[in-house]
């Protein structure tokens, strides 16, 4: 991966609060994440770890209030999203960064024909291509049969898998540089999940766009990711090339996550789960945030929160937020 | 679709039948001798007897009910006791007045309520949002006859901006329509506000923003049509009520509408007219409901599929 050019997306030390009354709750605490052009990055973590908040922050989609960025920067092709005026921000949304969300049935407007909704994106970002032929072309691209007649359908007339394909078609309409897919397969049947994943991989190859895939499912990582970042309690705890991370997870949390994935063919009597619960927003433990659930925790872990630092001996690009990863 | 229309029609007829029977029974148990009212206080017993015979008032109740229903089925509402004018003619001649008053009132309040509802939903907690909430509560609890009299006194009598009463053209409709609109606008602004707040929170709104849609496109193209779907039902009911006659407002401004006709007929114990106006209100409600029902499948594609 070449790093000498400006990265497509560079989130630096992002800190974000949710203001609830006069008590701000920290949701992101120093998140740094880089996505290069054409790269597929997976952001993995349990619910409430801050991965969706990170994804929405990229184009400031979180309503403010209650969300408030208190520090850091988000550079998109070198431009700081946090400094953008509304008009510029709108051209970025759907233009450079497109989104596919978790629940496709709720993400499509129920009273507007899907073709019209795709056309809207085209009008906003590629006005010269805003015509029915291009809409049909996009529907065909995402594998929707009989696209001419489907374009006149409403969302409720399509199955969940088809709805997600429409969402993807809409996201691709502007030919974005980065597709942020926030749990795109969670609301779908398992067989459909595989189809959607195949589609994303195929489209990535064809368009050369980068993908930031948000998921709690480590199984997806091996399928699609170049690089993985693991989030826990508003921080990234490990970041590594996908193959290396899957072969040898370093952070105790990543290991626990991988242990909790049931393996096919192995005789499993009881699913392994990580003891304890994800800490609530605003109730993060002092020291290392994972230490109350960590099987290897020692007294020092409760004292101070370790930095996310490069793993020395490997000399690679692996980052881990645990000084004892080697023990 | 055809089947739904058919069942709806069947229900409508049943509703109308029920209304007819109920009004007939109510009027007959109410005190007051109709024959004596028609004949006047000094009439001789013979005259009263003749009148009873003419209007079949001496027949048993069930027979008269049957006769009444049969008449209704033929579309005949009978003749006024007072003027001898056919009741349907009396109602139809007053319908244009009431209908124009109702349309003007509806236009006025929707014209105000939609922007207010949308704006306050977008800017929750601002002073305008709070003022609309207070004003809505206030106007909702205002009595119509008081507001009508106040507007009439200040805007017509004191300021001379509008004609005081009667109906000789558009300007005579403005104050009565304003009265009705003021009473309704707060309620509708809040209704639209609540629906908008709910819709603005949905995933498809976030998706529209994520595509780079402008704020006005988000509000008016994506959110408002969804927020107005539930409003249509209530608006339909209110239009139906207005068509049935706005008793207080029409009376205060001496508008020759169905409301004044209804009130007059009650004072005169003009039974056919009373029953006629009630039947007309019921018919208006039934028809508007039918229209709303059909309209629904047009504005909400999800209903069409069912």
> What pLDDT is stored for residue A2 in this prediction?
45
DSSP letter for each residue of B180-216: HHHHHHHHHHHHHHHHHHHHHTSHHHHHHHHTT--HH
Q: Which of A180-184, B117-121, B161-165 has the lowest mean pLDDT?
A: B161-165
Quick one: pLDDT band at residue B124, thresholds 50, 70, 90? confident
Give the dihedral sign, CA A91/A94/A98/A104.
positive
Stretch B155-183: mean pLDDT, rounded? 84
Average pLDDT, chain B: 87
Q: What is the pLDDT of residue B305?
A: 58
**Mutation choice for A interface testing from B210, B216, B227, B306 by most A CBs within 10 A:** B210
Domains of chain B: 2-73 (no CATH), 88-305 (1.10.3720.10)
Residue A179: count of CB within 10 angstroms of its CB: 23
Reported ipTM: the value is: 0.86
Q: What is the pLDDT of residues B43-81, one digit of tens each?
A: 888 888 888 888 777 788 888 888 888 888 888 888 888
Tally Cβ neighbours within 10 Å of residue A158. Answer: 19
The Cβ of residue A240 has, within 10 Å, a number of other Cβ atoms equal to 25
**pLDDT tens figures, B183-222:** 999 999 999 999 999 999 999 999 999 999 998 999 999 9
Contact (CB, 8 A) for B149 and B177: no
* pLDDT score at A277: 77
Whether pLDDT at B13 is above 60:
yes
Q: How far apart are CA A9 and CA B269, in angstroms?
A: 82
Supply the pTM of this predicted model: 0.83
* Mean predicted confidence (pLDDT) in B115-139: 90
Q: Which of B54-63, B115-124, B170-179, B255-264 has the lowest mean pLDDT?
A: B54-63
Contact state of A94 with B211 under an 8 Å Cβ cutoff: yes
Query: Which residues numbered 59-98 in B keep a CB inside 8 Å of some CB on A?
Result: none
Which residue of A57, A107, A177 is the best one to mutate when testing the B interface, meaning the one whose CB has the most B CBs within 10 A? A107
Q: Is the pLDDT of residue B242 over 70?
A: yes
Cβ atoms of A42 and A221 closer than 8 Å? yes
pLDDT tens across the length of chain A (327 residues): 444 578 899 999 999 988 877 788 888 888 999 999 999 999 998 888 888 999 999 999 988 878 889 888 999 998 999 999 989 999 999 889 999 998 899 999 999 999 999 999 999 999 988 899 999 999 998 889 999 999 999 999 999 889 999 999 999 998 899 999 998 888 888 888 888 888 888 888 888 899 999 988 888 888 888 999 999 988 999 998 888 888 888 888 888 888 877 666 666 566 677 777 778 787 888 888 888 888 887 888 888 888 888 876 656 688 888 877 777
Dig out the tokens for A201 from the structure: 């991989």
Q: What is the pLDDT of residues B72-115, one digit of tens each?
A: 888 888 888 888 899 999 999 999 999 999 999 999 999 999 99
**Terminal-to-terminal C-alpha distance of chain A:** 30
> What backbone phi and psi angles, to 5 degrees, belong to A104?
-65, -30
Contacts of A195 (CB under 8 A, 6+ apart): A161
Residues of A in contact with B210 (CB under 8 A): 59, 61, 93-94, 98-99, 101
Residues of A in contact with B297 (CB under 8 A): none
pLDDT range class, residue B149, cuts 50, 70, 90: confident
């Amino acid at each position: 991966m070449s790093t000498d050019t400006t990265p497509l997306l560079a989130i630096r030390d992002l800190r974000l609060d949710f203001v609830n009354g006069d008590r701000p709750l920290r949701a992101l605490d120093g998140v740094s994440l880089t996505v290069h052009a054409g790269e597929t990055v997976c952001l993995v973590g349990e619910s409430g770890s801050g991965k969706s908040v990170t994804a929405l922050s990229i184009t400031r989609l979180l309503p403010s209030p209650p969300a408030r960025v208190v520090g850091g920067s988000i550079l998109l092709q070198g431009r700081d999203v946090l400094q953008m005026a509304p008009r510029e921000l709108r051209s970025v949304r759907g233009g450079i960064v497109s989104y596919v969300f978790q629940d496709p049935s709720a993400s499509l407007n129920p009273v507007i024909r899907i073709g019209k909704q795709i056309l809207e994106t085209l009008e906003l970002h590629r006005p010269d291509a805003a015509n029915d032929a291009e809409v049909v072309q996009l529907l065909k691209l995402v594998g929707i049969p009989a696209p001419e007649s489907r374009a006149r359908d409403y969302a409720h007339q399509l199955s969940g898998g088809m709805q997600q394909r429409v969402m993807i078609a809409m996201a691709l309409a502007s030919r974005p540089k980065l597709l942020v897919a926030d749990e795109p397969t969670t609301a779908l049947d398992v067989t459909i999940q595989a189809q959607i994943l195949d589609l994303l991989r195929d489209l990535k190859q064809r368009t050369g766009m980068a993908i930031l895939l948000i998921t709690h499912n480590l199984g997806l990582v091996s399928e699609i990711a170049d690089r993985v970042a693991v989030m826990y309690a508003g921080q990234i705890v490990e970041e590594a090339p996908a193959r290396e991370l899957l072969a040898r997870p370093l952070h105790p949390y990543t290991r626990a996550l991988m242990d909790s994935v049931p393996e096919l063919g192995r005789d499993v009597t009881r699913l392994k789960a990580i003891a304890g619960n994800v800490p609530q927003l605003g109730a993060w433990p002092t020291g290392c945030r994972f230490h109350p659930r960590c099987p290897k925790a020692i007294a020092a872990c409760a004292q101070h929160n370790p930095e996310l630092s490069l793993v020395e001996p490997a000399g690679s690009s692996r980052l881990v937020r645990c000084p004892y990863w080697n023990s | 679709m055809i089947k739904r229309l058919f069942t709806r029609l069947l229900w409508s007829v049943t509703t109308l039948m029920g209304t007819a029977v109920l009004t007939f029974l109510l009027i007959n148990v109410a005190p007051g001798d109709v024959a004596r009212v028609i004949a006047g206080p000094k009439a001789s017993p013979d005259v009263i007897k003749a009148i009873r015979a003419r209007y079949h008032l001496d027949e048993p109740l069930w027979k008269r009910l049957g006769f009444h229903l049969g008449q209704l089925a033929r579309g005949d509402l009978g003749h006024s006791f007072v003027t001898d004018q056919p009741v349907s003619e009396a109602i139809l001649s007053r319908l244009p007045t009431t209908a124009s008053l109702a349309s003007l009132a509806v236009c006025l309040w929707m014209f105000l309520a939609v922007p207010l509802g949308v704006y306050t939903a977008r800017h929750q907690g601002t002073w305008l949002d709070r003022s609309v909430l207070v004003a809505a509560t206030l106007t909702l609890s205002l009595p119509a006859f008081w507001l009508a009299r106040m507007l009439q006194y200040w805007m017509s009598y004191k300021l001379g901006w509008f004609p005081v009463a009667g109906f000789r053209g558009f300007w005579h409709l403005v104050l009565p329509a304003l009265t009705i609109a003021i009473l309704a606008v707060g309620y509708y602004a809040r209704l639209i506000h609540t629906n908008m707040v709910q819709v603005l929170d949905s995933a498809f709104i976030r998706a529209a923003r994520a595509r780079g849609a402008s704020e006005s496109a988000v509000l008016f193209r994506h959110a408002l049509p969804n927020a107005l779907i539930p409003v249509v039902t209530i608006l339909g009911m209110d239009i139906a009520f207005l068509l049935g006659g706005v008793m207080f407002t029409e009376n205060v401004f001496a508008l020759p509408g169905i409301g004044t006709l209804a009130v007059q007929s009650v004072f005169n114990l003009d039974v056919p007219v009373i029953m006629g106006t009630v039947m007309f209100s019921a018919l208006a409600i039934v028809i508007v409901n039918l229209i709303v029902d059909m309209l629904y499948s047009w504005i909400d594609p999800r209903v069409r599929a069912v």
